[in-house]
Amino acid sequence: MKIKLLGTRGSIPSPGKHTVKYGGNTTCLDLTLNSGKKIIIDAGSGMRVLSNEIFAEKVNHINLFLTHSHWDHIQGFPFFIPIYIPTFSIKIFAASPTYGRLLDILKGQMQSLYYPVPFKQIAAKIEFEKIRKSGISIDGVKISSILTNHPLETHAFKFEEDGKSFVFMSDNELDHQDIAVVPYEDHLDFIKDSDVLIHDAQYEKREMKKHKSWGHSSWEQTVAFAKDGNIKTLYLTHYDPTRKDKQIDSIIKKANKLAGKGLKVKGAREGSEFCL
């Protein structure tokens, strides 16, 4: 499995000279399975960049997994050019209750008040599929989900292929009981012994008091979580829109010191990729 990061920013796109290294686009990941099939996680503004790669690789179908419908995770969908091509198809996956609202969610942001092209002008074939509690499988890849702690129902996804496992768990507040729909121990069981974890790290510990119940974690909490879960490599992501590259560099350095031996901490960088 090859994983490419197309958007690593949280809340709102944040272009500029201070976000060049880690990127300013909001959440989107491109997974290429060993079979060659593509899975896209979330449709943030990073999804727009994916259009050119789809054309270059002559891909005519993708599977899109949506964690939830907050705008920074769906705003790239109308700008994803392949959806306007009749020969293209896309299957959109989500867990309940997001699944039940998918059509309304995607139509809603393409209403004339917000966007000039209506949903009805999409020419590609679109299908919707529900992620069952027991999980699903695509080309031998086992995909399971779990709710995160976020103000809107949000799901994390785990992908298992050829004995390797990768977890994407964004928009998750690890220690706030007011919105804790899933106990810490359950999240720990979900990520346990995974090769790679990409997890929300929007804030620093000193900032959390002002952002309690917003549904995001500090990098310190995320490192401790990864250590408890026996993760091999942790990528911090969903950076706050005000976070500058130099600040993230400093955070990654401190995070690796906190992690100690056995855990490697990296900063998710737009455009970077790795293989499992």
Give SS3 for 93: strand
Question: In the structure, what pLDDT confidence band is assigned to residue 145 with cuts at 50, 70 and 90?
Answer: very high
Query: Are the CB atoms for 26 and 125 separated by under 8 Å?
Result: no
Query: Are the CB atoms for 22 and 253 separated by under 8 Å?
Result: no
Q: Domains in the chain, please, with CATH?
A: 2-275 (3.60.15.10)
Can you tell me the distance from the alpha carbon of 63 to that of 40, in angstroms, rounded to the nearest whole number?
Answer: 6
Joined tokens for residue 153: 């129902």
Q: What is the mean pLDDT of residues 170-174?
A: 95
| pLDDT value for 176 | 66
Can you tell me the distance from the alpha carbon of 165 to that of 192, in angstroms, rounded to the nearest whole number?
Answer: 10
Closest to 128 in 3D by CA, of 90, 157, 79: 90
Question: In the structure, what pLDDT confidence band is assigned to residue 175 with cuts at 50, 70 and 90?
Answer: confident
Query: Are the CB atoms for 50 and 32 separated by under 8 Å?
Result: no
Please list the helix, strand and coil fractions of the chain in percent, rounded to the nearest 5, in that order: 30, 30, 45
pTM above 0.85?
yes
Decide if pLDDT at 178 tops 70.
Answer: no
Can you tell me the distance from the alpha carbon of 258 to that of 127, in angstroms, rounded to the nearest whole number?
Answer: 44
Q: Tens digits of per-residue pLDDT, 76-113? A: 999 999 999 999 999 999 999 999 999 999 999 999 99
